[in-house]
Structure 1
Amino acid sequence: MADRDLPAFFELSGQELMPAPHARSAWSPDMLHGRLLGGLLARALEREQAAPGFHFSRLTVDLFKNSKLVPLRVQTTRVRDGRRIRVADAVVLGPDGPIARASSVQLKRTEHPTGEIPATPAWDIPEPATLGPAPSTDRPGQWSVPWDLWMFDPDGKVTTNWRGENCRRAWLRDTHELVAGESLSPFVRLGLAADFASPLAVGGSNGLEFINADYTLYLRRLPCGEEIGLEANGYAGEDGIAVGSCVMHDTAGPIGFCNIAAVANPTASLGKA
């Protein structure tokens, strides 16, 4: 559960979501952090479009426009209802129109086939409960990470170095409520955490030189706890375009995958040594 002593990222005022100053992005003090858009989209889809007996197996979030710290609204639309599938979309609206959107697929839970298929193994990273408090990421005069974060170097040791060749695995735990007075659901936690697949998968020796354009989560189940693990397992890039992928974990094992696409922004790289 998010810490009630920490301020939420948004206050609900009628149908509008009012962002707090700490909802800012790492790129600019007056820009909303893109991960929060994913959380708002997941929240709206779960509240308005969830179907009993169905599971959110896919969430695609398109981050196609930056937003200032302005009032936002989220609308959802049912696209398809079937016996074994439900498809729904959502859009985040600012004062000047859409700034992000999502599409979701829910599949009906049923008996699982018994055939053997090679599966992604659990990782060997220690659980957060054994690691102690998350290391401080405070940097004087710079944006600080507003969630608990344990990053690991290639030897499995906790590090605060953001450079991509040294940091490819991480545990993340949100500590702020997304909307004041609302506990974070497992699905909303994933909507928030998935944006971090971008720095893990496409960050490099100069830090993060790409802005995330989208991400797609594919989920076999929802996480069983507050901690979300991400393990980068693929990257390709050329002509200012980067694509990457991560395995998503919880403390019980792999829960799915996250794929991302990003566009170069080298003049404002994050985590430069």
Structure 2
Amino acid sequence: MPAPHARSPWSPDMLHGRLLGGLAARALEERYAEPGLHFARLTVDLFRNSPLLPVAVETSLVRDGRRIRVADAVLSTDQGPIGRVTAVLLRQGEQPEGDQSILTPAWDEHPPTDAPVVAPEGWQPPFDLWRVTEWGEPGPGRVWMRETHPLVDDEPVTPVVRAALAADFASPLANVGTSGLGFINADYTLTLARLPEGELIGVEATGHLSASGVATGQVTMHDAAGPFGFCLVTAVANPIARLSR
């Protein structure tokens, strides 16, 4: 049964969508990871909102080649499927010679040394959160995050799972406006050049487009050593509720 801190900020009786990516990443890593195969992409489709119910994860191998492995996971409760996740694992090898024509620079934010933000009221994030920029202010939003709870029982959170959990924050960071968050995401796609190092993950909004109630946003994922991946989300306007600043 999900713990109380598993609830979503959108509703006190709704399961947080970030947990679906984390649970699927955990199951896919447990069953299909091996030395030399790198989790390069994780696409999380969020089919429907779910109450705080136990979640079952079923995995299947889609493709297993010399340089690529593709696996799926379906997440369900006793009310039916609530999400689907696809993982792409690529065989690591020798890095090509020469410099790239474009590189994502490391951001100029140092890892936090002060205490994380604590919301004065309402929903409390089930993770440590440092807002480098104010919520909804113009310009690229930036945060540092750190997991504070195990995902399942007392298991340690692996780097793959840590990245999958943090990636869900791409939607609120990229899609927030000056009057709050009016979009709820339908999916997110995390791409990883390498796995994050350490417990801290930084997320920086680097793009947003929206029209007629449909949005897409993107973020760059950082750790203390520099950028390690990207996350792209699609979202739909949520007229019933808007998360305020």
Task: Identify the TM-score tier after normalising by the shorter chain.
Answer: over 0.9
Per the alignment, residue 152 of structure 1 pairs with 132
1:187 corresponds to 2:171: no
Cα contact 1:165–1:203 (8 A) shared by 2: no
Deviating above 4 A after TM superposition, structure 1's stretches of 4 or more consecutive aligned residues are none
SS state at 2:76 partner: strand
CA gap of 1:91–1:203, structure 2 versus 1, over 3 A, is same
Cα contact 2:200–2:223 (8 A) shared by 1: yes
| 1:18-37 aligned within 5 A | 18-37=1-20
Aligned-pair CA distance for 1:138: 3.5
The alignment yields a C-alpha RMSD, in angstroms, of: 1.2
Q: Distance in 2 between matches of 1:195 and 1:41?
A: 13
Aligned-pair CA distance for 1:164: 5.0
Match of 1:223 among 187, 196, 203: 196
SS state at 2:14 partner: coil
* Identity among equivalent pairs (%): 58
Deviations 1:12-57 (A, max 9, x none): xxxxxx2112211111111000011111011111011113210000
1:121 corresponds to 2:101: no
Per the alignment, residue 47 of structure 2 pairs with 64
Q: Distance in 1 between matches of 2:98 and 2:69?
A: 26
> Gapped runs of 5+ residues in structure 1?
1-17, 154-160
Aligned-pair CA distance for 1:75: 0.7
Q: Distance in 1 between matches of 2:232 and 2:42?
A: 11
TM-score (norm 2): 0.96
1:200 corresponds to 2:173: yes
How many residues are aligned here?
244
Aligned-pair CA distance for 1:167: 6.5
Q: Distance in 2 between matches of 1:77 and 1:164?
A: 43
Q: Distance in 2 between matches of 1:88 and 1:211?
A: 26
Per the alignment, residue 76 of structure 1 pairs with 59
Per the alignment, residue 147 of structure 2 pairs with 174
Aligned-pair CA distance for 1:195: 0.5
SS state at 1:68 partner: coil
Match of 1:138 among 96, 115, 120: 120
Cα contact 1:54–1:109 (8 A) shared by 2: yes
Amino acid at match of 1:133: A
